[in-house]
Amino acid sequence: MKPPPFAYLRPETPEEALAALASEADSALLLAGGQSLMAMLNMRLAQPSLLIDIGSLGALSYVRISGGALAVGAASTQSALEHRSGLVGEAPLLAQALPHLGHYQTRNRGTVCGSIAHADPSGELPLCLVALKGEVALRSVRERRIVQAEQFFLGALSTTRRPDEMIEEARFPLRRKGEGHAFRELSMRQGDFAICAVAASATADGLRLAVGGVADRPVARDWPLLEGGTLDDALSDFAWDLEARDDMHASARYRRMLVRKLGRAALEEAMSCRNG
Amino acid sequence: MNTADRTAEAGRLIGRAIERLEDAALLSGRGRYADDLPVPPGTLHAAVLRSSHAHAELVAIDTAAALALPGVVAVLTREDVKRWTRPFTVGVKQPMEHWCLAVDRVRYVGEPIAVVLAEDRYRAEDVLERIDVQYRPLPAAIDTRTAAAGGAPLLHPAVGANVVSDRSFRYGDPDGAFAAAEHRVALAIDYPRNSCTPIECFVVVAEWNPAEGSYEVMANFQGPMTIHPVMALALNVPSNRLRLKTPPDSGGSFGVKQALAPYIVLMAAAARLAGRPVKWTEDRLEHLVAANSATNRVTRIEAAVRRDGIVTALDWDQIEDCGAYLRAPEPATLYRMHGNMTGAYDIRHVSIRNRVVLTNKAPTGLNRGFGGPQVYFALERLMQRIAAELGLDPLEVIRRNLVPSDAFPYRTAPGALLDSGDYQRALDQAAAAGGLAELKRRRDAARAAGKLYGIGYAAVVEPSISNMGYITTVLTAAERQKAGPKNGAQSTATVAIDPLGAVSVIVASLPQGQGHRTVLAQVVAEVFGLQPRDIRVTTEFDTVRDAWSIAAGNYSSRFAGAVAGTAHLAAVALRDKLARIAAARLNVAVEDVRFADGKVHAAGNPDNSLSFGRVAGASHWAPGTLGEGAEAALRETVFWTPSVLDAPNEADEINSSATYGFIFDFCGVEIDRDTGQARIDKYVTMHDAGRLLNPALVDGQVRGGFSNGVGAAFFEQLVYDVDGTFRSGTFADYLVPTACEVPEPVILHMETPSPVTPLGAKGVGEGNCMSTPVCLANAVADALGVADVNLPMTPAKLAELMAIDDPPPRPPSSTR
């Protein structure tokens, strides 16, 4: 469990990081919190020639409100977001989801944008970003561009980010009046990858449910306000459409069951707290 | 004269929950673990090339490209191994060979094929993929039943079968009992593979001394030292030319570090090839794929039962899967429980068929509980099934079958001598102190509210201090006759006094974090009237300097009963010599010498006293004037073996362990209807481990065993695909419970001292690995009303048992 040789750069500015990334875009990787990448390096699943450590770039370390969203910079840790005072009011879904993301210790190092860039199909932050219709701000030496969450994730560990691009910030829309949110997750142990995680939103005239851990990326679906058997049918259709697969810890059947049960519970909770 | 005679009540240390002497160093980063220790100058670092195939012929191994790379010194392959080593000794008479490297075939994913020796570990790993191995893949034998039935590819063609041992045993008249039975209740169990995965992996530093023709090895091996002869024979050197040393501290073992043995031989051969010392530190990926596993076992168990729930006979059919090689001391997992195959019950008629089968999985070995989890899962599930099928209360079925309180010492049908206990009283005390009536009310309330809630019970006899001869039960009486008897459990301890009267203790016990130094200091300090901090305890081990025998090491929960007891015997022997020396100086009779508060004084006259140091140093400073009848009190080494451990007899009866504790557990489990996830609502565990030497350390052992048990029950399994691909290669796949998943159990104790061990203590460290998985499974079976519950009980599996409602997809025409 030792990585192969690589060069290491700790840039002073985002511009220096982007220039280095552009110069070796095919074989350079950005390192932020390292909570996924270090393990991949040690297992030789990633073999970059250059590692660009942006974890200590002060200019990218922020959590702030901007344009109706909570903007989280590339160097901000998950625990910085988790412990932001007022998060429960600003983005109650994140407040509910973050305690499920790994462990206290890994959240102290792991970054919000790193988790989004990693794009694990069961990741809580990609799920929340999709559920809330958030955005990813990408930047390279060439340009800056904004990508909607649902367009960003392409599949397991796969995104629309180009090799010379860095996620500069992730933007989670703030809760609007009359909106309710809820989060549910089933994992084998506290902090494990979700076998199924759901993020629900409800407004006066509609429901939205995003599911992680089942398809190869977080997937959301919108409905008008449904209830009773109609809601069950809609959830069952959604569960089938996610094309769940068997793995060592859970069957596809079981995952469909979780989408129905956790989905229903989360949607009901979201509806009930719309006016809170 | 015993301790009580010379130690006042106030001086009592044995039985007190004193603080661990180990912790100051460990908690301040001063532990000295194997990987921390300095290595000799010029030490090379090893990386092991491992098989990617479950079963294949090794056609060619080309190392030329690897050797050309910078920093690479040598690559050890099968040719070197064939030159310097021999196959390991095998515990059954079969023509099969296990070398420290794959020689003709690979037989499991992860099997070592070559060892790269380089200036550092990074470079060594860099070149692993530059070694070109040509495999000719063979079909793999993975499923245990198929392999046992002869339907799988052969691993060792010379054997002619994958079943390498098949023995049947009969005790009493099982046929008669089954013929007369009012009911027969049967159950089939697939016990999965799991492993205790210590946080510290294997470390070996090996050197070859060509001048002496000797190997010197430092390794975090844990014993048993029966394996030392196995390693010396494999290295083809006289056993006094294999020096093995162990480090002061350990990051845990739970039996697993017994499996270092093949790597000790491998790295010794590598050091010989390189002509330089070699260090290898196993990483987690290597550990999970190849280090060690408990056996998986297929069991069919049937009971002959009277209508009142009394079991008159048991019929066991066990198929033990030991993986690709029968690695010493296997098939010991299958035989360690042999004497106590009737558990806590008075069952006089027993038949047992034991088969050992090899499959293309990693070889098995010691793991906490060693054979107990597999046996008790079957036996205690069966007791629950008997209650369910006969409509009886499961606790009542257990109670009616227990060995009666007045029957101890009790000889079981297969030959165990249950030395002491009061199982009925343990049940009563646990039910009262653990709140069983309240738990039943909680269950009733939960069920009334529509919840899935069950109560489970388990009664377990926990053997400790294994009889070194039990493993020979796998041989026929004729084969045993030929090989000569093997039995006993030799334990050694040395207590020494230096010129200033300071006391040292040396034991060959190879502790793995349990707190042996604390307990030994307690035991010895009490004998001398000193404080635990006055005693220096050394637990590093060195085969050329220490007193040891084959039962040395850390296994079979032998420390409290055997090692601490032997240290006590050595301390008492030395103290009695000191008493003679003191008697002359105090001018009192030997019988009236007392040891207390760092002084040696006359009984009834504390003012007539000498300092302990002065008396204790006398044999160094003035050996010529010790007084009449007194001999020097310098150093005492005691060898002790329990008197009750004979070799298996003609009838295959075997007292497989020296002493037997008792555990009674009960628990309440609720299962979430939406997710199938189980939650332990309450867990009560009652232990009778004889006399407790340090109750705080005992509770620590119980908590640790309990968390292993929770892991086995709900999370842990080493998974292989049908083609032998290994699926549990990281800690994200092999799930060990954390503090969040392990509730605090209610721990209860009672003490019926063992008449066999010097201090009356019994082992306690493994019991919850045996009782907890099945107690939890019984609760789940009760909650769901199902018969077949297999481990690990994951949410997905429990949801299937609840019958998942999975409505089919609606046609696309419907409103989506």
ipTM of the complex: 0.96
Return phi, psi of residue B691, to 5°. -75, 130
Instruction: Give me the pLDDT at residue B4, please.
Output: 46
Among A109, A20, A107, A143, CA closest to A29:
A20
3-state class percentages of chain B: helix first, strand second, coil last, to nearest 5: 30, 25, 45
pLDDT at B643 over 90: yes
Instruction: Tell me what percent of the residues of chain A surpass a pLDDT of 90.
Output: 97
Contact A257 B810 (CB under 8 A): no
Instruction: Give me the pLDDT at residue A139, please.
Output: 98
Which pTM does this prediction carry? Answer: 0.97
Q: Quickly list DSSP for B268-281.
A: HHHHHHHTS-EEEE
Q: Does a cis peptide bond (omega within 30 degrees of 0) precede residue B773? A: no
Instruction: Give me the pLDDT at residue B811, please.
Output: 83
Other Cβ atoms closer than 10 A to B446: 17
Instruction: Give me the pLDDT at residue A276, please.
Output: 72
Tell me the CA distances in angstroms from B458 to A193, B396, B397, B698, B792, one per residue in order.
Answer: 33, 12, 11, 20, 17
| Backbone torsion region of residue A67, taken as left when φ is above 0, otherwise alpha when ψ lies between -120 and 50, otherwise beta | left
Instruction: Tell me what percent of the residues of chain B surpass a pLDDT of 90.
Output: 96
For the stretch A133-191, pLDDT in tens is 999 999 999 999 999 999 999 999 999 999 999 999 999 999 999 999 999 999 999 99
The answer to whether A175 and A86 are in contact (CB under 8 A) is no
Q: CA of B250 to nearest chain A CA: how many angstroms apart?
A: 21
Per-residue DSSP letter, A248: S
The answer to whether B312 and B234 are in contact (CB under 8 A) is no
The residue behind tokens 């796998």 is B474
Instruction: Give me the pLDDT at residue A252, please.
Output: 96
User: B741 to chain A: which residues are within 8 Å by CB?
Assistant: 189-190
pLDDT at A42 over 70: yes
Contact B122 A2 (CB under 8 A): yes
Q: State how far Cα B216 lies from the chain centre.
A: 26
For the stretch A216-233, pLDDT in tens is 999 999 999 999 999 999
Per-residue DSSP letter, A111: B
pLDDT at B387 over 60: yes
The answer to whether B462 and B661 are in contact (CB under 8 A) is yes
Q: CA of B251 to nearest chain A CA: how many angstroms apart?
A: 19
Residues, chain B, total?
Answer: 816
Separation between Cα atoms, residue B722 and residue A49, nearest integer Å: 37
Per-residue DSSP letter, B452: E
Which site among A100, A187, A193, A237 would you substitute to test the B interface, given the most B Cβ atoms closer than 10 Å to its Cβ? A237
Name the closest residue on chain B to residue A184, using Cα atoms. Answer: B675
The answer to whether B569 and B478 are in contact (CB under 8 A) is no
Contact A1 B285 (CB under 8 A): yes
Instruction: Give me the pLDDT at residue B810, please.
Output: 87
For chain A positions 203-242, those within 8 Å of chain B (CB to CB) are 233-234, 236-237, 240
Q: Does a cis peptide bond (omega within 30 degrees of 0) precede residue B642? A: no
Which site among B69, B282, B816 would you substitute to test the A interface, given the most A Cβ atoms closer than 10 Å to its Cβ? B816
Q: State how far Cα B618 lies from the chain centre.
A: 43
Other Cβ atoms closer than 10 A to B136: 11
Separation between Cα atoms, residue B201 and residue B415, nearest integer Å: 37
**Confidence grade of residue B812 (pLDDT, cut at 50, 70, 90):** confident
Q: Using alpha carbons only, how large is chain B's radius of gyration in Å? A: 28
Q: State how far Cα B574 lies from the chain centre.
A: 32
The answer to whether A116 and A129 are in contact (CB under 8 A) is yes
| Beta-strand runs (E) in B228-362 | 242-245, 278-281, 296-305, 311-321, 349-357
The answer to whether B637 and B761 are in contact (CB under 8 A) is no
The answer to whether B309 and B383 are in contact (CB under 8 A) is no
Separation between Cα atoms, residue B51 and residue B74, nearest integer Å: 19
The residue behind tokens 């649902």 is A150
Residues B158/B161/B163/B165 CA torsion (nearest 10 deg)? -50
Instruction: Give me the pLDDT at residue B197, please.
Output: 97
User: B740 to chain A: which residues are within 8 Å by CB?
Assistant: 189-191
User: B814 to chain A: which residues are within 8 Å by CB?
Assistant: 233, 237
The answer to whether B202 and B282 are in contact (CB under 8 A) is yes
User: B800 to chain A: which residues are within 8 Å by CB?
Assistant: 251, 253-254
Instruction: Tell me what percent of the residues of chain B surpass a pLDDT of 70.
Output: 98
**Facing residues of B190 across strands?**
B298
User: A262 to chain B: which residues are within 8 Å by CB?
Assistant: 674-675
Q: Longest Cα pair distance anywhere in chain B, in angstroms?
A: 108
Structure tokens at A252: 């596809």
Separation between Cα atoms, residue B115 and residue B62, nearest integer Å: 13
Instruction: Give me the pLDDT at residue B377, please.
Output: 98
Instruction: Give me the pLDDT at residue B5, please.
Output: 60
Tell how strand B593-596 and strand B599-602 pair up: antiparallel
| b/e A49-75 (16+ beta carbons within 10 angstroms → b) | ebbbbbbebeebbebeeeeebbbbbbb
Q: State how far Cα B118 lies from the chain centre.
A: 35
Tell how strand A69-73 and strand A166-173 pair up: antiparallel
Query: Strand, helix or coil at B520?
Result: helix
What is the H or E stretch that residue A29 is in?
strand A28-31
Separation between Cα atoms, residue B69 and residue B67, nearest integer Å: 5
Instruction: Give me the pLDDT at residue B3, please.
Output: 44
Separation between Cα atoms, residue B793 and residue A71, nearest integer Å: 42
Among B319, B343, B337, B509, CA closest to B423:
B343
Separation between Cα atoms, residue B6 and residue B589, nearest integer Å: 13
Name the closest residue on chain A to residue B801, using Cα atoms. Answer: A254
Contact B675 A258 (CB under 8 A): yes
Instruction: Give me the pLDDT at residue B1, please.
Output: 45
Give the mean pLDDT of chain B: 96
For the stretch B110-144, pLDDT in tens is 999 999 999 999 999 999 999 999 999 999 999 99
**Confidence grade of residue B813 (pLDDT, cut at 50, 70, 90):** low
For the stretch B568-589, pLDDT in tens is 999 999 999 999 999 999 999 9
The answer to whether A253 and A214 are in contact (CB under 8 A) is no
For chain A positions 36-75, those within 8 Å of chain B (CB to CB) are 43-44
For the stretch B601-642, pLDDT in tens is 999 999 999 999 999 999 999 999 898 888 999 999 999 999
Per-residue DSSP letter, B290: I
HEC string for B624-636:
HHCCCCCCCCCEE
pLDDT at A207 over 70: yes
Region A33-45: mean pLDDT is: 96
The residue behind tokens 């419907």 is B814
Separation between Cα atoms, residue B293 and residue B290, nearest integer Å: 8
pLDDT at B36 over 90: yes
For the stretch B659-683, pLDDT in tens is 999 999 999 999 999 999 999 999 9
Separation between Cα atoms, residue B761 and residue B462, nearest integer Å: 13
Among B227, B359, B199, B363, CA closest to B290:
B363
Name the closest residue on chain B to residue A241, using Cα atoms. Answer: B809
Contact A253 B806 (CB under 8 A): yes
End-to-end CA distance of chain A: 50
What is the H or E stretch that residue A82 is in?
helix A78-82
B794 touches chain A (CB under 8 A): yes
